[in-house]
């Protein structure tokens, strides 16, 4: 099997996910193209070496530019903090590499557009890590909608709620700084539900949004704001800093064709761990989904049974649904979060090998950032904002 | 509207339910026969008078025999402690009255059989209060099974679990005494799930059962073992008494036609409040139900949708289901526990007026007691026991 | 027991609910004030007489003005089409009667304000039928929030979705005409979730809303647009008429104190029967509720258990929760929709007898209509709209 | 990292699972011992070679005995049809290899005991693939019970239901033949719930069981009874064969210390895909679990909150729970079925490296087979059967 050389930047939560996914994807999906684990880069060279040892990469480096320049690296996977996505991606594109970048693509829509333009010019394959699009149930929902299984879509209601910053004791981090993270909940987790809205329903043309920072000040962490601890148990100082971006965003949406909807996102929603959920209503049915129960989907079709026997069907995913069969021939056995990254990587490898185009690529992700930018603008100006085409 | 005179014995939880149901049923269901609230009896004459005032009965008495003998009383409703069901029912039958008796019909199968024989001889209408049979979802399940909607039944799994005696601090009461209550969980709540098993699947021929008393000793209540407090907050003494019947019963069942199943019941199942639940599997589908979510039912039919779109349907009850439409023309609005008694009373009044026969009547309830007796015998003898025909 | 004379206008779904509630409430709740069923009015005098016979009212009339004028009628209950709420209520107030009016109070905020002013001048007791506020779980949520059980509220997400007009074959009716119903989904079912938002979180100051009519034309019914059939099975003609109000409304909300939230409502949401649902997040917890499972509530409190044992608790309502104990001493047995009206009527009777003030009265309902008006205005003008105080 | 050589026998569903797990486990769990993928064996040598290519094994063979004898193979993983478990395991043990065997260990309790004895004599590490024990929620339940979080256990109710043979059109296969599969549903999927019962509650001493074959005859497959297709879509002939083992098994259980419980299993339970579910009640709480929603667990503790705020808590698994943190630092993101095998393999590698003993090893699995044998004996003899120690 022909293979391409993988260069992975970043060794945090997402870096580990990518590493595992590159190891597993070719075997699980029998992709035409294999993945050679060439190099890991991390600003902490020791962390890079430990990751290389653990996941079987040939080499490690503390210098991401060396990775990008390495002739054996064909594909650069970027899992660094959001701020660095742009310089890394532009460098990789300039070097003619395929680029796989974690979301959000960039801190601003303008940056994202610049990156998309560079990708177009480079003529390589790009992919952005909106991993929930890979959930078999989400892919199936997309397919159902495309096939008209619920008629014409009339309403989309999407939520992406977590509670990872609900505790006021969770310290200040780069996530709360505008120059390092851009928006708060919106870019971090809200962008996921936007990716679903766009994939399932189509382009968004106008938004009316509002935002709020619930916890205005957070304690400074004892050891600086570098690597965050997602469990919030970090030691803190008695000093505090002002949170610069929002804890909650919500917006009314207008899609093409008069379809309306909402998205809402919060990083302070107590009790929610990964509540990426949506309801899509159509003229002939409805679909409900919650990523916390990612292996099922609720489907209602009014004509599917006599009225007294009808209702939402709890469809358990199985090999009849997208992607699932590569993991197991038995329905109801279930996929997990890491499997979504395996699917994503397999789609990326297939795209590079000449298969279906990767989605969302930089262009699609830049379009999403335009919606995100319009949401921010609408919230600031407190009026409807058009998505700048 | 012609009406019959109601005599109600007992003013506890069930007595109040009956009173409300007799007030509401003729209006809700437009029964052909009305209900005149003639008399309430309670061993505590003051309680009887208060109930009469509250619910609009014409008279009250401390002497149930006076009620039974009263010429204006046409129907005797018995909600006294289980021990008294038999003498009261026999007296009422002897007096030619229709009898509506709370479950369990009697403390032993022999007593129940004697009561059924007396009812047959009296030629009146009888009804036993297995109220969960009136749940629209349960009635609908029965109808689905009868209509073959899930093919031939192959398995029945029934549970009736509550936690009203899970706390060891709940004091000794008549419910724990063999001579006053007969069995423990089985007669009190397990009989409900047996009534469902019999109504949905048919006669049970053999059982293999086991029983256990989890809390062997309970404190004696400060004020004697008379009226119990269902919330367990009664004052207790430092003395204890031995619990004489079981906290948990479960049994393997054999129905006619080789269908197999189980019932299990517990009064010490922490967290369960009214978990009367069943799963019925057939050669062409399955039905799931839980009384704690009484306004919905789960139905699976393999042929109802393509495999990738199929699953259990959550059917919300509505006017298309049995009984519901009398309460509301709008689906999903929901019935409550007290409404079940309204349905029961309406069916009783209709039966007296010449409509469909009341079910379960004394004969059917006596048949249930034979199953219950076989379960107790099987548990004692630790072997399969036939239900004595 | 002293009692007051009830005059009921209207004999449809809500008229029947009121009648049953007036029969049951004094007995269930042992209210200090009884209810004498004096008179029923319906534009169809025969229907009025049938309702009187069925529910035990002393008299019937085809002329609602006669009912309002009747000296034995102390309280006028209005369940007529929305258009008639205003003239009937004003006449009843002028006659010095207490008034119990179904929601929405009026077709416009101005009409509602006029009615509230008339009520204030009359000095009588008024109540508007936002019955879901009576759900024990909703009342309990309100109490939890008031007691600080989830800290300060930070977000409210409310939905009121049904599918009673999802089928394009459902004929045109007064509900779709602006001069007879005012708004569409918003006034009919959306007002319920607004009532919950206001009761749980407090005053709303600004809104940004959007609306859409999904099914633009509907067939004319064969027999005129009088009484609708909620099951949609009415015979229709080949002619159609234009739907004049919206099928879907949604809005961003700003409450006092910077709390934000959304409401959304649809009458074309396939599969939803009575999905009045909300999520309330606070600085120290969260509450989830869905009226389709009205007998439970989800409560999360971060400090209630160690992190690895914590999560949303499914609280089954019982006698420890508001109102429930009047119906049953046993938790998990469940109330139904009609019981909510019994609670409402009991609260009304108690208010008249000098107990806690009725809520929402005409003043509170008029305040709600101002929010509703702002939502409509915002949708039309496509910008944030202040709630006119 | 030191590593051991893996020899994998079988390339079906479970063979693929094992292969993926051996690839991933050392990286995910940073085990002290690595896994070298040495050889794959399959009776179809071509399939063996394809699997070797796909998963990265160094060599392939059509002769499992060659694999067992290979000096570079240190651990033999057996995923062949049940019939072959015994000869393969005995050969591997004789050759001094560690053995990892899929469940059920053998077709009879006597065979299993023989294998356990051989393992003891060989002094190697063994592990049997009861993978649901690895579910973080199941491991956590076990830990909760051990820590007394629900007091003393009083009841265990376990179910393992699927519908993979519910369709009468599913053809005859080795699974239905007594000499090749032993029991039917019991050995195939019921053994999983038995493994959970034993791990959570402890030894079972007596059982009363019943069994039934629902579909007595099945069509013969067009291409012989070799490899089955789990989706049931195989071409069939017009000939049929008699199913030799049961579709449904259920049993009453007696554990040590007077704890009682049930297990039930079916392979014809329409709508169930992987419904391995249990309820465990204790003197101070209760735990509910369903593998179809493997990433959550319901926990009730009566003292955890005031009565009116208490109920079952939906605990979403996360890094605070067993095994989860190796996959993700974020709760609620979820594991999938294949991850369970990764956990299993990691535990096996750690055991070989001197860590905690593997569980269940051959001895524990042989003990399970004695329970299984007692269930079969009880069903045949129709009386309580002791588990032969």
Q: With 60 as the cut, is the pLDDT of residue D299 above it?
A: yes
| pLDDT of amino acid B233 | 60
The β-bridge partners of D63 are none
**Does residue D87 share a domain with residue D28?**
yes
Q: What is the DSSP letter of B61?
A: E
Residue C176 lies in a domain: yes
- Give yes or no for C306 touching A (CB within 8 A): no
Residue the block writes with tokens 């129907």: B75
| pLDDT confidence tier of residue C257, bands split at 50, 70 and 90 | confident
**B269 closest CA partner among C362, D245, D150:** D150
Which chain C residues are Cβ-neighbours of B53 within 8 angstroms?
1
Q: CB within 8 A of B268, min separation 6: which ones?
A: B163, B165, B166, B185, B214, B215, B247, B248, D154, D281, D283
ipTM here:
0.96
Q: With 80 as the cut, is the pLDDT of residue A226 above it?
A: no
Write out pLDDT tens, residues B255-303: 998 899 999 999 999 999 999 999 999 999 999 999 999 999 999 999 9
The three-point CA angle B46-B51-B52 to 5° equals 95
Report the chain D residue with the minimal C-alpha distance to residue C313.
D313
**Which of C283, C300, C384 has its CB closest to that of A383?**
C384
**Does residue B115 share a domain with residue B143?**
no
Q: With 90 as the cut, is the pLDDT of residue A172 above it?
A: yes
- Please tell me whether residue B353 adopts helix, strand or coil conformation: coil
| pLDDT of amino acid B230 | 53
A–B interface: beta-carbon pairs under 8 A: 59
Q: Are D382 and D207 in contact (CB under 8 A)?
A: no
| pLDDT of amino acid A73 | 98
Q: Are strands C98-101 and C126-128 parallel, antiparallel or unpaired?
A: parallel
- Give residues 192 to 251 of B whose Cβ lies within 8 Å of C: 230-231
Report the chain C residue with the minimal C-alpha distance to residue A258.
C212
| pLDDT of amino acid A233 | 60
Report the chain A residue with the minimal C-alpha distance to residue B299.
A309
State mean pLDDT over B80-100.
97
| pLDDT of amino acid C224 | 65
Which chain B residues are Cβ-neighbours of D302 within 8 angstroms?
163, 166-167, 270-271
Q: With 90 as the cut, is the pLDDT of residue D227 above it?
A: no
Distance from CA of A333 to the nearest CA of C (A): 24
Which chain D residues are Cβ-neighbours of B212 within 8 angstroms?
154, 258, 260
| pLDDT confidence tier of residue B64, bands split at 50, 70 and 90 | very high
Structure tokens at B191: 């009989």
Q: With 70 as the cut, is the pLDDT of residue C221 above it?
A: yes
Distance from CA of C302 to the nearest CA of D (A): 12
Residue the block writes with tokens 């104190």: C257
Distance from CA of C365 to the nearest CA of B (A): 23
**Does residue D182 share a domain with residue D210?**
yes
**Which of D313, D316, D320 has its CB closest to that of C313?**
D313
| pLDDT of amino acid B111 | 97
- Say whether A262 and C262 touch across the interface (CB within 8 A): yes
Report the chain A residue with the minimal C-alpha distance to residue C262.
A250
Which chain D residues are Cβ-neighbours of B270 within 8 angstroms?
150, 281-282, 284-286, 300, 302
Q: With 80 as the cut, is the pLDDT of residue D176 above it?
A: yes
- Give yes or no for A289 touching C (CB within 8 A): no
Q: How many structural domains are present in chain C?
A: 2
Structure tokens at B281: 């599997």
**Which of B20, B230, B327 has its CB closest to that of C336?**
B327
| pLDDT of amino acid D225 | 61
Residue C346 lies in a domain: no
Its domain, for residue A318, covers: 136-293+295-335+366-381
Q: Which residue among A71, A104, A130 closes a domain?
A: A130
Q: Which residue among D95, D130, D165 closes a domain?
A: D130
**Does residue D112 share a domain with residue D203?**
no
**Does residue C105 share a domain with residue C77?**
yes
- Radius of gyration (Cα) for chain A, nearest Å? 21
Q: What is the DSSP letter of D134?
A: G
Report the chain C residue with the minimal C-alpha distance to residue A161.
C281
**Which of A212, A262, A383 has its CB closest to that of C258?**
A212
- Say whether B313 and A315 touch across the interface (CB within 8 A): no
Which chain C residues are Cβ-neighbours of B20 within 8 angstroms?
24, 27-28
Q: 10 Å Cβ neighbour count for C94?
A: 12
Residue C351 lies in a domain: no
**Which of A305, A311, A315 has its CB closest to that of B316?**
A311
Subunit partners of chain B (3 or more CB pairs within 8 A): A, C, D
Report the chain C residue with the minimal C-alpha distance to residue B56.
C27
Which chain B residues are Cβ-neighbours of D311 within 8 angstroms?
271
Residue B323 lies in a domain: yes
**Does residue B272 share a domain with residue B218?**
yes
Question: What CATH number is given to the structural domain containing B223?
Answer: 3.30.360.10
- Give residues 334 to 363 of A whose Cβ lies within 8 Å of C: none
Which chain A residues are Cβ-neighbours of C312 within 8 angstroms?
271
**Does residue C301 share a domain with residue C200?**
yes
What percent of chain C clears pLDDT 90, i.e. is strictly above it? 94
Write out pLDDT tens, residues D107-122: 999 999 999 999 999 9
- Say whether B273 and C329 touch across the interface (CB within 8 A): no
Q: With 60 as the cut, is the pLDDT of residue A230 above it?
A: no
- Say whether D301 and C305 touch across the interface (CB within 8 A): yes
| pLDDT of amino acid C258 | 87
| pLDDT of amino acid B5 | 98
| pLDDT confidence tier of residue A386, bands split at 50, 70 and 90 | very high
Residue B233 lies in a domain: yes
| pLDDT of amino acid D236 | 86
Q: Are strands D34-41 and A59-61 parallel, antiparallel or unpaired?
A: unpaired
Residue D346 lies in a domain: no
- Cα gap C315→D312, rounded to integer Å: 7
| pLDDT confidence tier of residue B225, bands split at 50, 70 and 90 | low
- Say whether B314 and A310 touch across the interface (CB within 8 A): no
- Say whether C315 and D310 touch across the interface (CB within 8 A): yes
Residue A370 lies in a domain: yes
| pLDDT of amino acid C223 | 73
State mean pLDDT over C70-88.
97
Q: With 70 as the cut, is the pLDDT of residue C225 above it?
A: no
**Which of D247, D260, D382 has its CB closest to that of B384?**
D382
DSSP-assigned states of every residue in A344-368: HHHHHHHHHTTSSPPSS-HHHHHHH
Residue the block writes with tokens 């005149």: B36
- Give residues 143 to 182 of C whose Cβ lies within 8 Å of A: 150, 154-155, 157, 159, 163, 166-168
Q: Which residue among A101, A130, A159 closes a domain?
A: A130
What percent of chain A clears pLDDT 70, i.e. is strictly above it? 97
Q: Are B269 and D298 in contact (CB under 8 A)?
A: no
The Cβ-side half-sphere exposure at B46, using a 13 Å CA radius, reads 0
| pLDDT of amino acid A222 | 86
| pLDDT of amino acid D257 | 85
- Give yes or no for D316 touching C (CB within 8 A): yes
Write out pLDDT tens, residues A237-270: 899 999 999 999 999 999 998 899 999 999 999 9
Distance from CA of C269 to the nearest CA of A (A): 6
**Which of B154, B252, B269 has its CB closest to that of D252?**
B252
| pLDDT of amino acid D152 | 97
Distance from CA of D227 to the nearest CA of B (A): 22
Sign (positive or negative) of CA dihedral A148, A151, A153, A156 = negative
The β-bridge partners of B159 are B264, B277
Q: With 60 as the cut, is the pLDDT of residue A36 above it?
A: yes
Question: What CATH number is given to the structural domain containing C114?
Answer: 3.40.50.720
A–C interface: beta-carbon pairs under 8 A: 112
Structure tokens at B263: 């019932």
**Which of B155, B250, B271 has its CB closest to that of D300?**
B271
Which chain C residues are Cβ-neighbours of B1 within 8 angstroms?
53
**Does residue D205 share a domain with residue D146?**
yes
- Say whether C309 and D318 touch across the interface (CB within 8 A): no
Residue the block writes with tokens 């004969």: B363
State the best of A150, A252, A383 to mutate against chain C, taking most chain C CBs within 10 Å: A252
Q: What is the DSSP letter of A95?
A: T
First to last CA, chain D: 42
Distances (CA, A) of A141 to A130, A133, A196, B264, C162: 16, 10, 10, 39, 21
**Does residue D188 share a domain with residue D229?**
yes
Q: With 80 as the cut, is the pLDDT of residue B8 above it?
A: yes
| pLDDT confidence tier of residue B252, bands split at 50, 70 and 90 | very high
| pLDDT confidence tier of residue A227, bands split at 50, 70 and 90 | low
Residue B66 lies in a domain: yes
- Cα gap C104→C78, rounded to integer Å: 11
- Say whether B318 and A308 touch across the interface (CB within 8 A): yes
- Say whether D307 and C321 touch across the interface (CB within 8 A): no
**Which of A28, A230, A293 has its CB closest to that of D293?**
A293
State the best of B293, B336, B343 to mutate against chain C, taking most chain C CBs within 10 Å: B336
Write out pLDDT tens, residues A108-167: 999 999 999 999 999 999 999 999 999 999 999 999 999 999 999 999 999 999 999 999
Q: With 90 as the cut, is the pLDDT of residue D226 above it?
A: no
- Cα gap D349→B177, rounded to integer Å: 56
- Say whether D332 and A164 touch across the interface (CB within 8 A): no
Structure tokens at D191: 């053994």
DSSP-assigned states of every residue in D285-301: EEEEEEGGGTTEEEEE-
Q: Are A296 and A317 in contact (CB under 8 A)?
A: yes
- Give yes or no for C293 touching B (CB within 8 A): yes
State mean pLDDT over A325-337.
97
- Cα gap C119→C125, rounded to integer Å: 8
**Does residue C245 share a domain with residue C214?**
yes
Distance from CA of D274 to the nearest CA of C (A): 24
**Does residue A180 share a domain with residue A32?**
no
- Say whether D309 and C313 touch across the interface (CB within 8 A): yes
State mean pLDDT over C151-166.
98
- Say whether B154 and D214 touch across the interface (CB within 8 A): yes
Helices (H), chain A: 13-29, 45-55, 64-69, 85-94, 109-122, 136-146, 178-181, 185, 191-201, 337-352, 362-381
**Does residue C188 share a domain with residue C70?**
no
Structure tokens at D275: 């419904």
The three-point CA angle B305-B309-B311 to 5° equals 80
| pLDDT of amino acid D167 | 96
State mean pLDDT over D10-35.
96
């Amino acid at each position: 099997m022909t293979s391409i050389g993988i260069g992975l930047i970043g060794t945090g939560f997402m870096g580990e996910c990518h590493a595992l996914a590159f190891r597993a994807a070719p075997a699980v999906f029998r992709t035409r193209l294999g993945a050679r684990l060439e190099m890991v880069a991390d600003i902490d060279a020791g962390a890079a070496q430990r990751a290389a040892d653990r996941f079987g990469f040939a080499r490690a480096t503390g210098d991401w530019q060396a990775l990008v320049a390495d002739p054996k690296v064909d594909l650069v996977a970027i899992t660094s903090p959001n701020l660095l996505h742009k310089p890394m991606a532009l460098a990789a594109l300039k070097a003619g590499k395929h680029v796989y970048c974690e979301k959000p693509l960039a801190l601003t829509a303008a940056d994202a557009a610049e990156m998309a333009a560079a990708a177009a010019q480079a003529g390589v394959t790009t992919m952005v890590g909106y991993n929930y699009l890979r959930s078999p149930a989400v892919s199936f929902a997309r397919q159902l909608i495309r096939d008209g299984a619920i008629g014409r879509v009339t309403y989309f209601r999407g939520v992406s709620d977590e509670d990872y910053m609900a505790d006021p004791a969770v310290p200040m981090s780069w996530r709360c700084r505008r120059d390092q993270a851009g928006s708060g909940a919106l870019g971090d987790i809200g962008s996921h539900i936007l990716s679903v809205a766009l994939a399932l329903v189509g382009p968004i043309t106008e938004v009316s949004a509002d935002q709020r920072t619930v916890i205005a000040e957070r304690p400074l962490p004892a050891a600086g704001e570098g690597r965050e601890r997602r469990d919030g148990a970090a030691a803190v100082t008695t000093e505090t800093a002002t949170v610069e971006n929002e804890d909650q965003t919500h917006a009314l949406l207008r899609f093409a064709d008069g379809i309306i909807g909402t998205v809402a996102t919060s990083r302070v929603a107590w009790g929610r761990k990964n509540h990426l959920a949506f309801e899509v209503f159509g003229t002939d049915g409805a679909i409900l989904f919650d990523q916390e129960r990612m292996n099922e989907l609720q489907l209602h079709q009014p004509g599917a049974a006599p009225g007294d026997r009808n209702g939402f069907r709890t469809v358990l995913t199985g090999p009849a649904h997208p992607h699932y069969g590569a993991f197991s021939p038995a329905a109801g056995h279930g996929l997990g979060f890491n499997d979504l990254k395996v699917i994503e990587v397999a789609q990326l490898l297939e795209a590079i090998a000449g298969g279906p185009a990767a989605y969302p690529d930089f262009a699609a992700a830049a379009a999403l950032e335009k919606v995100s930018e319009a949401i921010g603008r609408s919230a600031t100006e407190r009026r409807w904002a058009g998505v700048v085409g």
